Chain A
């Protein structure tokens, strides 16, 4: 520690302060939402809640957690995550491996890469896609949320870039050993790509967790909505220009800031916990060990 220079030390201090400050800046909105969820409705409507709850109460959580729809949609999201994330991961890995080859080693790779990349740029839009999903009989089934988006092209491209940074000697060694492609992928590529795989798993999971539009579009009844769609149904403010309405009970429900805040937080919590969990795979030094072998 003694050999750290003065400039290095002052840099480190500044760095800690700067990053710490950023973290505080970023945590504020979530703290605000959390504070609202624990506040009384009147305090929330009067915009009196800042970063600490006002008139602390657990009512919003009690209400949110006893709503059968809320719990039901949790189950559906769990199913979707199980199917969707594993499907996405499988596709990403299977496609990224061949496309990570140089074009002299796999002549078709350029064709395939562009075939996939183009889907990121061009699309037919809502109506034709719905028609195909309908024709293939997926409407109102969990597969409608999994199959059409089974190939996450951005992640494929990302992973193939990570694969390409792996030392070539490894693959050659495996090839000389007579290993098949699948064996090479499984025993050489994947163990060395843990940080990349963790990143991609995170992207895919968050994607499925947050995606709400397909849930509403492809499901025929709110009882089949995943959590994100259910929340969208609840949280987005209905237009307030309901001037001619007279159902004041329903109108009063439009706001319910505290309930919405509680639901936003409850819904975000599981996915927020995923990142710290995956961080343990962001470790350096794996490649080093393998090459020295």
Chain B
């Protein structure tokens, strides 16, 4: 949780609430009869089975008289409702009441920016709701203050096999982060551990300059130089850059960052990796990072990087991309939605996505952090703590066994948008605790693309797969709609999902090995270290002598880095046992 900050937490929460969107949808459809995962019994069947052995706890058991459950959770502006519905009144809430006898109401909701503050004041006021969505450090805070119900037993007894399976997809790390002294204090939603950063290049520029797609990092450098110097847009002016970079490039997990480039040098920003001697070491200060910076410095000197990158945030660089000044960058999987769709709409820029490439024969790995992205805690003294588990059970169950009716009612509804068109309402977001299989999407992508090729969607079942199929079909027939282009760039053959699928297939990830709480020195010194890093890295790219990096490393150690390393390694020693 070292970098779990309010802001990052907020975006992580958003990320998860978002990632649910596609992946749930995709994994939701019953892909084929002999799906890898055995279909779970539906709630009613389960209930019937369970009733034969009444001593057992029933993961889907209905309360005789409805139990009240008041919750605080994050609701952002991407939540849309059908006319007359609201977060308190919708099909999921009705389902919880009908099937489980749980009367779910919301004490309050807020968006990702305000949620942490609102949560803090709520906790401080002592008047906390029964069920709350919180972030990692708050689980500790609340557990320390003895405000949380111990969910160990409820989870053991009531979690459905399907829920437990989803919980353990990451090796149980997320679940571990929710434990204090062996007791489970929260239900985590495990984060995706599929690497997300990839390389985006304008294929039309490559073709114009007679360049091949990159196989190695050396190819990337050559492309960058050619894009900057050989006038790929053909306007006779030197107004293009080799690679897009933003002012916060030295932070981890940002668009137009250097995570992808660094991975080619086997360097990993803000990541604790194994040091080969049984301990952990911070990759940011290793010599590989020096090479990354030296390379960037050279590219900057050669005019391949915007000389103003140091003051541009990602939304400004987005504008440069759309305006046709940038032909290559490292960005997240969703880049086709932002900003590439507009770039395509503007001048038919043919953006393609590629896996990150390496400087040598060792494959480039991307750092991932197994973690819980959301945590759900129950107030101490709440009489039915297992109710929270049941909510999670039901979502896991419904999202796996989707019928056409269920899909429309509980996953995604299509309604008239009032202008003669259809708009999709993401109903699944109303369910508060949603665990999913982050990798199921890739198998579905393959099926969809096969179906597009053969023209036969009969194997796709219902739901998102069919919807995606239809969108890809639309691109085949109509190559003018930016939205269709976006779908193709994401879902189509060679799209960003297929790059991720390759990452999974080739296991192109390296784990951030530290998933413990923020240590004492981190909370005191990390911000100073981060600032130093950002300053020094930026100045080196702008031309400061590379020896600044060596000085940074010794400063980093002296200013608290050594203490943090020690704390991290002490923690690691306890985990390895």
Binding site for B on A (CB under 8 A): 41-42, 45-48, 66, 126-127, 130-131, 134, 140, 216-217, 220-223, 233-234, 236-255
Bound-state Cα–Cα, A249 to B332, Å:
14
Provide a sorted-by-A list of 10 A–B residue pairs whose CB atoms are within 8 angstroms.
Answer: A42-B346, A45-B339, A47-B319, A47-B320, A221-B87, A239-B7, A239-B10, A244-B332, A247-B21, A247-B78
Q: Which residues of B contact A220 (CB under 8 A)?
A: 106-109
Contact B121 A127 (CB under 8 A): yes
Instruction: Select from chain A the residue with minimum beta-carbon distance to B194.
Output: A244
Complex contact A245–B121 (CB within 8 A): no
* Best-buried of A42, A127, A221, A251 by chain B (most CB within 10 Å): A251
Q: Is the beta-carbon distance between B319 and A240 smaller than 8 angstroms?
A: no
Q: Are A243 and B197 in contact (CB under 8 A)?
A: yes
Partner of B342, one of A42, A233, A246, A253: A42
Whether the Cβ atoms of A241 and B342 lie closer than 8 Å is no
Q: Is B490 located at the chain interface by the 8 A CB criterion?
A: yes
Q: Are B18 and A245 in contact (CB under 8 A)?
A: yes
> Which 7 residue pairs are nearest across A and B when measured between Cβ atoms?
A247-B18, A248-B337, A247-B21, A220-B108, A47-B319, A46-B322, A130-B121
Q: Which residues of A contact B86 (CB under 8 A)?
A: 223
* Selected contact of A130 from candidates B7, B109, B124, CB within 8 Å: B124
Residue from B20, B21, B323 having most chain A Cβ neighbours under 10 A: B21
- Pick the contact of B78 from A222, A243, A250 — CB < 8 Å? A250
Q: Which residues of A are found within 8 Å of B336, using beta-carbon distances?
A: 248
Most chain B CB within a 10 A radius of its CB, from A236, A237, A239, A248:
A248
In the complex, are the beta carbons of B322 and A42 less than 8 A apart?
Answer: yes
B254 & A243 in contact (Cβ 8 Å cutoff): yes
User: Which residues in chain B, 1-54, are within 8 Å of chain A measured between CB atoms?
Assistant: 7-8, 10-12, 14-15, 17-23
Q: Which of B497-521 touch A at CB < 8 Å? A: none
Residues of B within 8 A of A247 (CB): 17-22, 78, 334
Q: Which residues of B contact A233 (CB under 8 A)?
A: 76-77, 111, 113-114
Query: In the assembled complex, how far is the CB of residue A5 from the closest CB belonging to chain B, in whole angstroms?
Result: 49
Given contacts A131-B124, A134-B127, A233-B111, contact A243 B87 (CB under 8 A): no
A242 in complex: contacting residue of B11, B127, B324, B341, CB < 8 Å: B11
Nearest-CB residue, chain B, relative to A236: B113
Which residues of chain B come closer than 8 Å to A130, judged between CB atoms? Answer: 121, 124-125
Task: Indicate if the CB atoms of A217 and B334 lie closer than 8 Å.
Answer: no
Distance in angstroms between the alpha carbons of A221 and B318 in the assembled complex = 33
> Does B281 reach chain A (CB closer than 8 Å)?
no
Evaluate contact between B332 and A243: CB separation under 8 angstroms: yes
Given known contacts A247-B20, A252-B338, A254-B338, is B332 in contact with A242 (CB within 8 Å)? yes
Contact partners of B75 in chain A: CB under 8 A:
222
Whether B327 sits at the interface, judged by CB under 8 Å, is no
CA distance A66 to B419 in the complex (A): 11
Q: Does B315 contact A (CB under 8 A)?
A: yes
| B121 and A126 contacting across the interface, CB-CB below 8 Å | yes
Asked, given contacts A46-B342, A240-B255, whether A250 binds B109 with beta carbons under 8 Å apart, the answer is no
Q: Does B352 sit within 8 A of A, measured CB to CB?
A: no
Q: How far is the CB of B316 from chain A (nearest CB, A)?
A: 8
With A45-B319, A45-B322, A47-B319 already in contact, the answer to whether A244 and B108 are too (CB < 8 A) is: no
A250 to B18, CA, bound (A): 7
Q: Roughly how many angstroms separate A233 CA and B255 CA in the complex, as a whole number?
A: 22
New contact pairs (8) apart from A46-B342, A244-B192, A248-B486, CB-CB < 8 Å: A126-B121, A134-B125, A140-B108, A217-B117, A241-B8, A248-B338, A251-B337, A252-B486
B110 interface hit (Cβ, 8 Å) = yes
Q: For residue B78, which residues in chain A have a CB less than 8 angstroms away from its CB?
A: 247, 249-250, 253
Question: In the bound complex, how far is the Cα of B20 from the Cα of A19, in angstroms?
Answer: 55
Q: Indicate if the CB atoms of A127 and B323 lie closer than 8 Å.
A: no
Point out the residue from B7, B191, B314 that lies within 8 Å of A244, measured CB to CB.
B191
Q: How many residues of B contact A (CB 8 A)?
A: 72
What's the minimum C-beta distance from B513 to chain A, rounded to whole angstroms? 18
- Residues of the B chain whose Cβ atoms lie less than 8 Å from the Cβ of A127: 120-121, 124
Given contact pairs A46-B323, A246-B334, A241 touches B251 in the complex (Cβ within 8 A): yes
State how many angstroms separate the Cβ of B367 from the closest Cβ of chain A.
11
Q: How far, in angstroms, from A253 to B342 measured CA to CA in the complex?
A: 12
Looking at A237, A241, A252, the one whose CB has the most chain B CB atoms below 10 A away is A241
CA distance A148 to B508 in the complex (A): 55
Interface residues as binary, B244-275 with A (CB distance below 8 Å gives 1, 0 otherwise) = 00000001011100000000000000000000
Residues on the A chain within 8 Å of B341, using CB:
252
Binary CB contact string for chain B from 329 to 354 against chain A (1 if under 8 A, 0 otherwise): 00011101111011101100000000
**B418 located at the interface, meaning its Cβ lies under 8 Å from any Cβ of chain A in the complex:** yes
In the bound assembly, the distance between CA atoms of A99 and B456 in angstroms comes to 83
Contact of B196 with A by CB under 8 A: yes
Docked CA distance A131–B124 (Å):
8
Q: Is B374 an interface residue (CB 8 A)?
A: no
> B380 at the A/B interface (Cβ < 8 Å)?
no
User: Which of A48, A237, A250 lies at the interface centre, i.e. has the most chain B CB atoms within 10 A of its CB?
Assistant: A250
Q: Is the CB of B322 within 8 A of A222?
A: no
> How far is B517's CA from A158's CA once the two chains are assembled, in angstroms?
50
A-side contacts of B8, CB under 8 Å: 239, 241
Asked if A255 and B106 make an inter-chain contact with CB atoms under 8 angstroms apart, the answer reads no
B254 touches A241 (CB 8 A): yes
Q: Given A134-B127, A221-B109, A234-B77: A47 and B323 within 8 A (CB)?
A: yes
Chain B residues with CB under 8 Å of A251's CB are 18, 334, 337-338
List B contacts of A131 (CB < 8 A).
121, 124-125
A-side contacts of B323, CB under 8 Å: 46-48
Contact A245 B15 (CB under 8 A): yes
Contact A243 B253 (CB under 8 A): yes
Chain B residue numbers with a CB within 8 Å of A237 are: 315
Q: Chain B's nearest CB lies how many Å from the CB of A46? A: 4
Residues on B with C-beta less than 8 A from A252 are: 337-338, 341, 486
Q: Specify which chain A residues have a CB less than 8 angstroms from the CB of B526 in the assembled complex.
A: none
Contacts of A238 in B (CB 8 A): 11, 14, 76, 112-113
Question: Which of A42, A46, A222, A244 sits near B15, CB closer than 8 Å?
Answer: A244
- Do residues A249 and B337 form an inter-chain contact, with CB atoms below 8 A? yes
Query: Is B474 part of the contact surface with A, judged by Cβ < 8 Å?
Result: no
Which chain B residues border A245 with CB–CB below 8 Å?
A: 14-15, 18-19, 332, 334
Is B532 an interface residue, CB under 8 A from the partner?
A: no
Are A249 and B21 interface neighbours, CB within 8 A? yes
Tell me which residues from 101 to 135 in chain B have a Cβ below 8 Å from any Cβ of chain A.
106-114, 117-118, 120-121, 124-125, 127
Q: Give A42 to B121 CA distance when docked, in angstroms.
A: 41
C-alpha gap A244/B20 in the complex (Å) = 11
A242-B337 in contact given A45-B318, A46-B322 (Cβ < 8 Å)? no
Q: Report which of B7, B108, B253, B486 forms a contact with A221, defined as CB distance below 8 A.
A: B108
Nearest Cβ in chain B — how far from A243, in angstroms? 4
* Complex CA–CA separation, A241 to B490 (angstroms): 19
Closest chain B residue, CB of each to CB of A249? B21
